[in-house]
Chain A
Amino acid sequence: MAAVARRRIAGTLAHRAAILLYILVALFPLFWLLKVSVTPNPLLYSEGVRLWPSQTSFEHFAFVIRNSDFPLFFRNSLIVSLSTAVIVTIIAAGAGYAMSRFSFRGKLWLVGLLLVTQMFPLVMLIAPIFRMLTPLGLTNSLTGLVIVYSAFNVPFAVFLMQSFFDAIPKDLDDAAMIDGASRFQAFRQIIVPLTLPGMAATLGFVFTAAWSELLFALMLISRADASTFPVGLLSFVSKFGVNFGQMMAAGVLALIPALLFFLLIQRFLVQGLTAGAVKG
């Protein structure tokens, strides 16, 4: 008995240690970001490699907020990411519900088509998309970015939402419709409240994808007033060198909205809301 117990404890310890190791590796770059952002410029190259500088300052933050275009980039990024997330989630909720509940002609083809869109490297699509958006006046515009991001994120989000709807018993729709609800009322009043965790996950996923997208932002936007933050970040790379301190400070600031966003939706990410719907 004692041997078994000891083995179990050893197993648990190894398990925890592995997780800890993973977290350390995953978070180290973030730590480095934070560390460099609070290191005063003179110390950056003079102190060698240290885990924490001997002196910290917030001068980089102050500079980025007061003297750079970063507040503008932030605002742009926020507009683009939020709009994309909301639009994609609404479309994906509707499409995912349809895919989950209805059988219709050409459904298999539609699924195949959605999958095919996920197969090509995005780089291939830059030129055609640029050509299409230019005559429409959608380059150098946040609207253009929102459209492109939405188009790229919808297929995956549809599959994601479909899997959340699939997890909810069809009997609930049926019960609601028998109770006197239309199909849409059943969707809105019964199914949507139960899929909030899934919607939150989709929202978060799309938001972060749009928030950190660089390639298309770089290609489609050339004016500073329409730049998103990843593009703006590159402005710290100049001919004469890289201003690491300011760049990292901007990076830390860029983390804040994503963090806040997840803090807001984490309540919905907690699963188990559907427990008790039907006897399992």
Chain B
Amino acid sequence: MATIDLEAVAKSFGPVHVLEPVDLQIRSGEFVVLVGPSGCGKSTLLRMIAGLEEASSGDIRIAGERVNEVPPKDRNIAMVFQSYALYPHMTVAQNMSYSLKLRKTAKERIAEAVKGAAETLGLSKLTERRPRALSGGQRQRVAMGRAIVRRPQAFLFDEPLSNLDARLREQMRAEIKKLHARLGATSIYVTHDQIEAMTLADRIVALDAGKIQQIGTPLDLYQRPANRFVAGFIGSPAMNFVSGTYRAAAAGRPVHLQADHAALPVPDLDRPDGHAVTVGIRPEHVLVEPGDAPGTIGCGVELVEPTGMGTIVHLRLGDVALKAYRPGYTEWTAGQRVHVRLPREHMHIFDEASGARIEPAGSGRSPGLSEWPAATKLD
């Protein structure tokens, strides 16, 4: 187990800057998840830590030692690839023991390690098979096995589950979590599945366009996203956004929505009158009500998606699409008109121009719903 420190690590391919300087300290035994959309540089960052790609600038330290010039074979790091990258001409046992053989480990010790890993991963009956005779899930396990037989300083995972179907992914996710609890190994895990990120991570690093957007615990990112990107990326179904103008001078200091000209009550902001903002609210916080109660906004129901565990109601407010999520079933049907309430204690306000989070004025405390005046129609 080891710490991994990145200091201003940047990467460019020729003139193309793929990663802006990244600073990241990973504690020994920590499970860090890198998330971000496709092409944002997650794999590149991982490959630099593994030594498969050279850092253009900055320092990479493993267990305190600078490893920029150390070849991958001497970094003692294991990696699980999205493609699994099993050696097709070797059996499962040979695949798993290749690294130990290269290290000239004693035969008995290899056999023991392979047996142990195979048992842990439920591969005991398959050790003599070639990868081509395995299912996708079994191949994935072999790839994991190849990593764990080694007792490396750290594990790197590059979207290890993205080729599996949903059920298997869920199962493997739980197994990875158990494995981490048991081995306590420093792990860096790349995914663009935000459920994997939320469930596995001690800390999440959200990346976009080669820049770190936020680093924090899953709940940090969920409850206090640092900017619009993180807010939209973390959480499923994704957060709703409506654009509007902050009316500091008007009564109740609301946000006038572009979509509907409704005046939306929001927390007090340290912003001048007329400041353009984006109001974000998670679907599970959107309240749908049948009657035209004060403080609600009229919407049309476009689509109702029952997921079994809950229901996603797609709503339309002017030209803005909103989603509401209710546990269980709802009586709403497409075509109906309903009224939604956007509770301001669950709102996230972002600067329209920069996308950065705007904290409510005064204390960070969100006041209770009852203290706020109702939304009123402007026209």
Residues of A within 8 A of B (CB): 169, 171-172, 174-182, 185, 190, 193-194, 273-279
Contact = CB atoms under 8 A, between A and B. Distances in A.
Contacts of A180: 73, 99, 102-103
24 contacts: A169-B83, A171-B81, A171-B83, A174-B47, A174-B50, A174-B85, A175-B86, A175-B87, A177-B51, A178-B51, A178-B77, A178-B78, A178-B79, A179-B73, A181-B73, A193-B89, A194-B88, A274-B88, A275-B88, A276-B133, A276-B139, A277-B88, A278-B83, A279-B84
Nearest to A192: B89
Interface string B270-288: 0000000000000000000
Nearest to A171: B85
B102 A179 contact: yes
A172 to B, nearest CB: 5
Contacts of B47: 174
A172 B163 CA distance: 17
A169 B87 CA distance: 10
B134 interface: yes
The size bracket of the interface on B is 20 to 34
B79 to A, nearest CB: 5
Contacts of A276: 86, 88, 130-134, 139
B43 to A, nearest CB: 11
A175 B89 contact: no
A102 B134 CA distance: 32
Which among A175, A179, A185, A194 has the highest number of chain B CB atoms within 10 Å? A179
B102 A172 contact: no
Interface string B139-174: 100000010001000000000000100000000000
A274 B134 CA distance: 14
Contacts of B139: 276, 279
Nearest to A279: B163
B71 interface: yes
Interface string B63-85: 00000000111000111010111
B116 interface: no
A180 B74 CA distance: 7
Which among A171, A180, A185 has the highest number of chain B CB atoms within 10 Å? A180
B81 A175 contact: yes
A179 B72 CA distance: 8
A182 B73 contact: yes
Nearest to B131: A276
Interface in B258-315: none
A178 B50 contact: yes
A104 to B, nearest CB: 13
A213 to B, nearest CB: 35
A175 B132 contact: no
A175 B99 CA distance: 10
A19 B146 CA distance: 48
B130 A177 contact: no
Which among A175, A274, A278, A279 has the highest number of chain B CB atoms within 10 Å? A175
Contacts of A278: 81, 83-86
Contacts of A171: 81, 83, 85
Contacts of A182: 71, 73
A185 B89 CA distance: 15
Nearest to B140: A279
B52 interface: yes
Nearest to B139: A279
B98 interface: yes
B136 interface: yes
A176 B132 CA distance: 18
A258 B163 CA distance: 45
B102 A177 contact: no
